[in-house]
Chains A and B, each alone.
Chain A
Amino acid sequence: MSRYLTPTLSAALLLFVASATILPFAALIQHTGQLSFKTLLSDVWIQRVITFSVWQAILSTVLSVGLAIPVAIALSREQNFPGRTALLNLFSLSLVMPTLVAIFGIVAVYGRTGWLNQALDTFGLPPMSLYGLNGILIAHIFFNLPLATRIFLVALDGIPPAQWRLASQLGLQGFARLKHLEWPAIRPRLIGTSILVFALCLTSFAIVLTLGGGPRATTIEVAIYQALRFDFDISTAVSLAFIQLVICIAVLLLGSAWKENTPMAFSSIQTQDSWRPNSRTRLMNALIILIASAFVLFPIAGLLFSAMNPALLNVIKQSSTLSAIVNTFIVSICAASLSLLLALGLLLIARHYHHRLHWVRVAFGVQLLGNLILVMPPLVLGTGLFLLLRPYADVFSLALLLVILINALLALPFVLRILDAPINQGAQTHDRLVQSLGVRGWSRFIWLDWPTIKPATGLSFGIAASLSAGDLGAIALFGSDRVTTLPLLLYQRMGSYRLQEAAVTAVLLLLTCLFFFLVSQWATRTPAEIQPT
């Protein structure tokens, strides 16, 4: 530790993360001077924005989490359902699928000329309008139903085999199993999952921007964007950011009151007992699984279908597309690398504080620092950086750098969460051995840490790179005609109704994200025989 992370280096790292998150905010406050919450909160429009933000987040959470429970139970009961593994992989995909790409698929299915309305029209039924609350809810469920399902499924698969055997022996069927086995496994995850989904929906940006369809359905995050980009009304933006911050912190505090250990939903699935439900229950399970699959599959199919159009070759050859692809790769690789470096640094510092110096609270604080960004709207961060740097440089020429920095910070909580367990694995059991052998510094990293964290590094790099590749928030703020990435290009093409080109762009973006997600995991895979026992 001491050699490659000297106290100086640790201090520099902590200072960097702290200042990168806090300074922009301070700059905003300083710029506005006085914030007038009173006048702001008495503004009817603002009141409506706040109410709508919270209301749509509550609805999205209830629907996503509520629907995830039967889906998870059905999937857990049907371990041998055909295509089950493929479906679960598809559910993981929605974790890294860029919002805009999904939105495009959702429009292809539920939009004015989408499949659903074509079907409704055939039966002489009135069309459904996607824009507004409908669209926001569909998109939020599309992303969060799979997430919640995977979390619950991990909980269900965590039920000890002995419990299943006992249930079989006692002859527990259907509802009794639900009451005594499955519900008790899901319940402890319910609050944490709901809070996670609520926070994601409250701060959701691209979905509301594209599917909100106007001022009636505007959330705080979108209002911040509009205040910044169109009105350049920094005072309103900062006040809104503060309000969002307060809500986020309140929700997080509420969440920590129910502290539970929610694992990232990537565990492998084990097989269960020999209970065979009766055919009616099985039919029901199959129906639930099919509906959930259709809900996730149709938009993806719709996207691929609409990308198969005459514009395909043209778009791929366009120089704007090519430069956007190049920029997207630069942003993703740099942001993911930076995020990984910051996370490794923070975790190694925290481990040292925790296990060597026994400063448990300080170690906790170090990790908290990396998670601070969760309550900071990316647009606010971006604007703060803009104000900080404006006196010294042409901010728009720094666009890529700023986008990299913001995306690296945004991905940091995810990377921290994935790397936390492997980095600290064995710190408790092997630390005295490591000390007595005198393995430290670079040698410790290469011989002891790297082999255990390698797969997690690949996973977190993949997730960070895909998130950065798909992010619209930062680039929407700093992007221009000179500097575009695939998400910005997609947004522009969707906005100008060049839908054929947009469809192709969306597929290119999806492939980019998949590429990062799969390649980085493949590159760091561990052959089965050297997996730690």
Chain B
Amino acid sequence: MSLILDEVSVQLAEKSFKFNLKADSGEVHAILGKSGSGKSTLLNLIGGFLKPSGGDISWHNQSIVSLPPDKRPVTTLFQSHNLFDHLSIKNNIALGVSPTMKLSPQDWNKIEQVLDDVGLPSRGDEKPGKLSGGEQQRVGLARCLLRKKPVMLLDEPYGALDETTRHDMLVLTKAVIDKHNLCVLMVTHNSDDADALEAIGHTIVDGVLN
């Protein structure tokens, strides 16, 4: 199964963008480039936060352009603000499983399990404020995994972390990507991130990705 961007174009303020990309399940693609080069625009288009003015985005040969963000086969780990400060860790994840918070006992068990997987066992009842930046991103990652979406977008998810934490997170991310056979698109300005995930590198030049 593959994610295909075919001549996807958009015009923002004075800048125009055009993206072409093919990414298969099990592959990690890294989009490199300076800020303002259109990396976030690309993820916004795939995530459904921005409507393209031309071209098509498809998954498994079906267009996803007309789908709202939550109905797309896509989940995103943002650079920050992945969690709601007033909800407990568990509830933050639960909201990703069911947006109406209707979860079965099995679902709650899975949340405990996935917290275990990302190295935060029995921390589910705490508030995000009690967690470090790295731990908060682990919760975000845990939620991405439970949402069972085949495509994962990583929007500079480790940009704000210190070197050691960043390394740990990259190892963890690599492990879950392989385990779940995900199709991953990562935006970063750090080529070390791309190397750690053994990613296929791309660069956006003058708003164009080929």
Contact = CB atoms under 8 A, between A and B. Distances in A.
Contacts of A432: 44, 47, 49, 69, 76, 78
Interface string A420-450: 0000001001101101111110010011100
B96 interface: yes
Contact of A439 (B71, B82, B86, B99): B99
B99 A435 contact: no
Given A439-B95, A443-B100, A433 B47 contact: no
6 contacts: A426-B84, A429-B81, A435-B69, A436-B69, A436-B75, A439-B95
B145 to A, nearest CB: 14
Contacts of B78: 432-433
Contacts of A435: 48-49, 68-70
Given A439-B99, A530-B127, A533-B128, A433 B86 contact: no
Q: Identify the interface centre among A435, A437, A533: most chain B CB within 10 Å of its CB.
A: A437
Contacts of A437: 70, 95-96, 99
A529 interface: yes
B53 to A, nearest CB: 15
B175 interface: no
Contact of B99 (A429, A440, A452): A440
Interface in A447-466: 447-448, 451-452
Interface of B: 44, 47-49, 68-71, 74-76, 78, 80-82, 84-87, 91, 95-96, 99-101, 127-129
A532 interface: yes
Contacts of B81: 426, 429-430, 433
Contacts, number: 63
B73 to A, nearest CB: 12
B69 A438 contact: yes
B101 A447 contact: yes
Given A435-B48, A437-B96, 9 more contacts: A429-B81, A432-B44, A432-B47, A433-B76, A436-B69, A447-B101, A451-B86, A533-B85, A533-B127
Contacts of A447: 84, 87, 91, 95, 101
A532 B129 CA distance: 8
List the 5 closest A-B pairs by CB distance, nearest first: A438-B70, A533-B129, A451-B86, A435-B69, A439-B99
A451 B44 CA distance: 28
Given A436-B69, A438-B69, A530 B76 contact: no
A438 B87 contact: no
Contacts of A443: 99-101
A129 B80 CA distance: 64
Q: Identify the interface centre among B49, B84, B129: most chain A CB within 10 Å of its CB.
A: B84
Nearest to A530: B86
A182 B49 CA distance: 45
A452 B86 CA distance: 7
A301 B100 CA distance: 53
B130 to A, nearest CB: 9
B181 to A, nearest CB: 21
Nearest to B49: A432
B85 A448 contact: no
Nearest to A356: B49
Interface string A26-52: 000000000000000000000000000
Given A432-B47, A435-B70, A443-B100, A532 B82 contact: no
A451 B85 CA distance: 10
Contacts of B87: 447, 451
A426 to B, nearest CB: 8
A532 B47 CA distance: 27
A426 B44 CA distance: 18
A436 B99 CA distance: 10
A530 B44 CA distance: 32
Contact of B47 (A429, A436, A452, A529): A436
Contact of B76 (A429, A436, A439, A533): A436
A343 B81 CA distance: 27
Contacts of B101: 443, 446-447
B70 A430 contact: no
A220 B141 CA distance: 64
Interface in A494-533: 529-530, 532-533
Contacts of B99: 437-440, 443
B16 to A, nearest CB: 19
A452 B84 CA distance: 10
A96 to B, nearest CB: 28
Interface string A149-176: 0000000000000000000000000000
A438 B68 CA distance: 8
B82 A433 contact: yes
Q: Identify the interface centre among A433, A443, A446, A530: most chain B CB within 10 Å of its CB.
A: A433
Contacts of A426: 81, 84
Nearest to A444: B99
Contact of B86 (A429, A438, A440, A532): A532
Contacts of B47: 432, 436
A440 to B, nearest CB: 7
Contact of B84 (A430, A438, A446): A430
A439 B101 CA distance: 9
A451 B86 CA distance: 7
A448 B128 contact: no
A436 B70 contact: yes
A448 B84 CA distance: 8
A438 B76 contact: no
Contacts of B70: 435-438
Nearest to A436: B69
A430 B83 CA distance: 8
Contacts of B49: 432, 435-436
A440 B101 CA distance: 11
A447 B102 CA distance: 12
A430 B69 CA distance: 14
Contacts of A530: 86, 127
Nearest to A526: B86
A448 B75 CA distance: 19
A430 B85 CA distance: 11
Contacts of B48: 435-436
Contacts of A533: 85, 127-129
Contacts of A448: 84
Contacts of A446: 101
